[in-house]
Amino acid sequence: MNIINDRELALRFKNGAVSSKERFIYFFTFILLSEAPHFYKYIFADNRRDFDLYEDIIMLAITIVGTIACYISNKTGDNREFVERYVCISFPVSVRATIFCIIIIIVSLVIYVAASIEIYFLKISLCSECKLDDLMDAWGSLVVTSAMIYFFHRLNTSIKLAAR
């Protein structure tokens, strides 16, 4: 495994000397390193919220488990072109997941606006523990988490199909 010497790795690719397993390790490491900046805010931020940390940990766990599941599905099949399949199939799956999120968010905003109007006109005051904005934050996290689970489920089933 080449950690610093990119030229040597390029030559190994050219000569077909990089195994499928090693390619997965590079890809998986790249994904983990791409997620690292999300956690810097907990080190340097003054206004840390535990909820945000838990949400990021859950997203990272879904990404790790989902990527490993996709790799195993590909390996169980023809064990070829994992990274190419993962990247290319991710595009239409991401579009589907985004459409899912947009629909849920639009419905949620309509409900939020209706609830805000009702609270304003009926002069209802919510207790400090159950603010409408906090409920919407939690709902948004649930929607995004559901979309991530959907994304990896759909990607995994599509990779299984491609690897048959």
Confidence check: pLDDT of 141 > 80: yes
- Contacts of 161 by beta carbon, 8 Å cutoff, 6+ apart: none
- Segment 101-106 long-range contacts (CB within 8 Å, at least 24 positions apart): 101/143, 101/144, 101/147, 104/143, 105/140, 105/143
**Higher pLDDT, residue 109 or 83:** 83
User: Which pLDDT belongs to residue 137?
Assistant: 77
CB 117 within 8 Å of CB 31: no
Per-residue model confidence as pLDDT tens digits over 17-73: 999 999 999 999 999 998 888 777 777 766 667 777 888 899 999 999 999 999 999
Residues in the chain: 164
- Contacts of 62 by beta carbon, 8 Å cutoff, 6+ apart: 145, 148, 149, 152
Cα→Cα distances 143→46, 64, 92, 97, 134, Å: 27, 19, 19, 10, 14
User: Which pLDDT belongs to residue 135?
Assistant: 73
- Beta carbons within 10 angstroms of residue 17's beta carbon: 10
User: Which pLDDT belongs to residue 120?
Assistant: 62
Per-residue model confidence as pLDDT tens digits over 116-130: 776 666 655 555 445
CB 56 within 8 Å of CB 146: no
Angle, alpha carbons 33-34-36 (nearest 5°):
65
Q: Work out the pLDDT band at 131, boundaries 50, 70, 90.
A: low
Task: Give the span between the Cα atoms of 91 and 98, in whole angstroms.
Answer: 11
User: Which pLDDT belongs to residue 115?
Assistant: 73
Record the pTM: 0.81
Task: Give the span between the Cα atoms of 132 and 28, in whole angstroms.
Answer: 38
| pLDDT (average), residues 1-17 | 91
Per-residue model confidence as pLDDT tens digits over 80-100: 999 999 999 999 999 999 999
Helix, strand, or coil here: 125? coil
